[in-house]
């Protein structure tokens, strides 16, 4: 795999994005910090996945542009773009019966011509990606037989075999229990720290995003309402604006990163707990 000494820059300029008849994002400007781990957070329907999909060229901009190293990506061939930017979508699916090794091998497609034969170089990338994600012993297993955590590591391995310098992930911890969520996020942080890969992930859990991110992008109604280091941008005011939630934001006792604690609504008629339990 490539060690990125100077990571490419990915940016959105006056970006409008969405779907036929519905504009989700309009006039958005965002620069992804190269070589860092960025988490995109926001309420449902805030535009997180739409933004990630447009940055990855999964969706065509309605207006504005996505830039890679200051060049409009529409002028870059999709194959060359995929050699630099990898995407793991929210709900990837594999054909029935495909093995882990076969799935990971699909990550090599952008680096191989139409008639180019599989090479020892491709095998080395696949083997390294599986070793990185701890799934070498699962290589012959059908993907459909894996647990949720194993399956997600296999998909990440496929993305790593692509050898991207920028990796975009849409909800990589969805449907995983807490231990597997931490396992995936630890893996992404290690990839970023050791390889210099720019990692951008959409995440729902505010506290995990704040714990792992170098930078947070907070979205609301298709706009970026805060962008920067978690300690600087994740405030009670930003949480209220983006999520409509009253919360305390305190330092996490383990990591000193922001910890969001929702403040429950106070009942107008408090319950007499003692009377309720003795009656």
Summarised one tens digit per residue, pLDDT across range 185-197 is 999 999 999 989 9
d(CA 132, CA 144) in angstroms, rounded, equals 21
| pTM of the model as a whole | 0.88
- Residues near 251 by beta carbon (within 8 Å), at least 6 away in sequence: 257, 258, 259
Q: Is residue 278 part of a domain?
A: no
pLDDT score of 85 more than 90: yes
For 123-132, write each residue's pLDDT tens digit: 999 999 999 8
Residue appearing with tokens 């990338």: 125
d(CA 151, CA 155) in angstroms, rounded, equals 6
pLDDT attached to residue 266: 61
Report the number of distinct structural domains present in the chain.
Answer: 1
Phi/psi of residue 105, nearest 5 degrees: -60, -25
Q: Is residue 265 part of a domain?
A: no
Q: Is residue 114 part of a domain?
A: yes
b vs e for 99-138, b when ≥16 Cβ sit within 10 Å of the residue's Cβ? bbbbbbbebbebbeeeeeeeeeebeebbebbbebbebeeb
pLDDT score of 274 more than 60: no
pLDDT attached to residue 86: 94
User: Among 119-123, 140-144, 234-238, whose mean pLDDT is lowest?
Assistant: 119-123
For 176-185, write each residue's pLDDT tens digit: 889 989 999 9
Q: Is residue 3 part of a domain?
A: no
Q: Which stretches of 2-60 are assigned E, i.e. beta strand? A: 10-19, 22-32, 37-42
- Residue 65's domain spans which residues? 10-245
Q: Is residue 273 part of a domain?
A: no
64: domain CATH number is: 3.40.50.300
Residue 274, classified by CB atoms within 10 Å of its CB into exposed (0-12), middle (13-18) or buried (19+), is: exposed
Q: Is residue 5 part of a domain?
A: no
Q: Is residue 110 part of a domain?
A: yes
Give the distance from CA 45 to its chain's centroid.
16
């Amino acid at each position: 795999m490539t060690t990125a000494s100077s990571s490419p820059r990915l940016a959105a300029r006056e970006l409008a994005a969405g779907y036929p008849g519905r504009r989700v994002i309009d006039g958005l400007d965002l620069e992804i910090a190269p070589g860092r781990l960025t988490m995109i957070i926001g309420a449902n329907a805030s535009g997180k996945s739409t933004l990630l999909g447009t940055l990855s060229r999964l969706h065509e901009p309605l207006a504005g542009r996505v830039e890679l190293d200051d060049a409009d990506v529409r002028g870059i061939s999709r194959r060359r773009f995929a050699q630099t930017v990898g995407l793991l979508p929210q709900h990837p699916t594999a054909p029935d019966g495909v093995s882990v090794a076969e799935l990971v091998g699909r990550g090599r497609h952008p680096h191989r011509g139409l008639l180019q034969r599989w090479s020892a170089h491709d095998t080395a990338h696949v083997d390294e990606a599986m070793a990185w994600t701890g799934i070498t012993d699962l290589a012959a297993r059908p993907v459909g037989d894996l647990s949720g955590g194993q399956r997600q590591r296999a998909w990440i391995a496929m993305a790593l075999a692509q050898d991207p310098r920028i990796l975009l992930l849409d909800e990589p911890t969805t449907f995983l229990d807490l231990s597997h969520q931490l396992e995936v996020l630890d893996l992404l942080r290690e990839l970023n720290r050791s390889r210099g890969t720019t990692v951008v992930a959409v995440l729902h859990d505010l506290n995990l995003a704040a714990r792992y991110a170098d930078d947070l992008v907070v979205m609301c109604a298709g706009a970026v309402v805060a962008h920067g280091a978690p300690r600087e941008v994740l405030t009670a005011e930003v949480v209220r604006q983006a999520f409509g939630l009253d919360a305390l934001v305190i330092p996490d006792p383990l990591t000193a990163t922001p910890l969001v604690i929702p403040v429950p609504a106070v009942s107008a008629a408090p319950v007499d707990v003692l009377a309720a339990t003795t009656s």
